[in-house]
């Protein structure tokens, strides 16, 4: 219980900071929509091929937007030296990591929840297939777990904006593969049997990445 309270305190702190500074969700959302616009011209989708192209377009947009969002969340801590405050606060490193991961999940999730209907309108799809919520939640959890540890790691380097995607994308590929496949099944209305397999894979990847990252986090932010 104590653990949950500590995690929530960190998440709430991030939400308040974001509500007052508006540094993450709004610009990242605009960026995600811009990626959709670029894809429109890059792929010139028609109504017949859109269900095949859509999962890729959506997840490329989320991956790029997600990496910006995750980066911001730690650059902010670093710029103001508040990472030291976090480290000095009487919470375990695991709680700190979980809190950071959840606030990243919330911010990226918020971007995704707006991007999906915008995408559907722009490409004439069903507005928001309900099953997509499950895929978004599971995939973004895994993405945030990998993103949070590597963002904490990348703030220790010069050129951190470019180092973060270089570190993170190769590792997060399994999550992206499963997310794209599950989304494809939803958007093409294929039989749901295969989708369960992909969702199970996503759960497995989430657990693996969360556990490894939570343990490794201690070594990343120590001084």
Partner 1 sequence: MTTKHLEKINSLLLPVCFAGVLLVMYMALGWAPLETTEGHVQRIFYVHVPVSWSAFVAFFVVFVSSILFLIKRSEKWDWLAVSAAELGLLMTTLSLISGIIWGRPTWGVWWVWDPRLTSTLLMWMIYVAYLMVRAYSSEAGRGSRMAAVIGIIGFADVPVVYYSVVWWQNIHPQPLIRPGNLELTGSMALVLLTSTIVFTIFLFYLISRRFLLEKATSELAVMKRTLREEEQDARIAKIKIDRAENK
- Does residue number 167 form part of the binding site for partner 1 (CB under 8 A)? yes
The smaller minimum CB distance to partner 1, of residues 134 and 171, is found at 171
- Does residue number 196 form part of the binding site for partner 1 (CB under 8 A)? no
- Binding residue (CB under 8 A) for partner 1 from 2, 127, 158, 191: 158
Place of tokens 């606060």: 89
Token pair recorded at residue 90: 């009487």
How many other CB atoms are there within 10 angstroms of residue 208's CB atom?
13
- Does residue number 177 form part of the binding site for partner 1 (CB under 8 A)? yes
- Binding residue (CB under 8 A) for partner 1 from 21, 52, 82, 157: 157
Token pair recorded at residue 48: 């017949």
Among 91, 186, 197, smallest CA distance to 136 is for: 186
- Binding residue (CB under 8 A) for partner 1 from 70, 153, 186, 199: 153
- Binding residue (CB under 8 A) for partner 1 from 92, 137, 181, 203: 181
d(CA 62, CA 223): 33
- Does residue number 163 form part of the binding site for partner 1 (CB under 8 A)? yes
- H helices of 2-92, in order, are 2-21, 25-43, 50-79, 82-88
Task: Please answer whether residues 132 and 55 qualify as being in contact, where contact means their C-beta atoms are separated by less than 8 angstroms.
Answer: no
Rule CB under 8 A: which residues touch partner 1? 149, 153-154, 156-159, 163, 166-167, 169-171, 173-174, 177-178, 181, 194, 197, 201, 205, 208, 212-213, 216, 219-220, 222
């Amino acid at each position: 219980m104590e653990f949950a309270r500590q995690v929530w305190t960190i998440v709430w702190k991030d939400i308040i900071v974001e509500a007052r500074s508006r540094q993450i969700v709004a610009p990242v959302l605009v960026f995600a929509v811009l990626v959709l616009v670029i894809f429109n011209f890059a792929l010139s989708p028609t109504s017949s091929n859109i269900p095949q192209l859509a999962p890729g377009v959506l997840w490329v947009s989320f991956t790029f937007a997600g990496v910006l969002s995750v980066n911001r969340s730690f650059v902010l801590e670093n710029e103001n030296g508040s990472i030291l405050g976090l480290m000095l606060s009487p919470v375990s490193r695991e709680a700190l990591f979980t809190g950071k991961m959840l606030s990243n999940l919330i911010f990226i999730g918020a971007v995704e929840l707006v991007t999906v209907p915008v995408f559907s309108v722009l490409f004439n799809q069903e507005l928001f297939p309900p099953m997509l919520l499950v895929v978004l939640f599971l995939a973004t959890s895994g993405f945030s777990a990998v993103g949070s540890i590597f963002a904490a790691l990348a703030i220790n380097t010069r050129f951190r904006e470019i180092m973060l995607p270089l570190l993170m994308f190769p590792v997060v590929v399994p999550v992206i593969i499963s997310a794209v496949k599950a989304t494809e099944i939803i958007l093409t209305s294929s039989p749901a049997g295969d989708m369960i397999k992909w969702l199970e894979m996503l759960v497995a990847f989430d657990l693996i990445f969360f556990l490894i990252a939570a343990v490794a986090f201690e070594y990343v932010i120590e001084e």
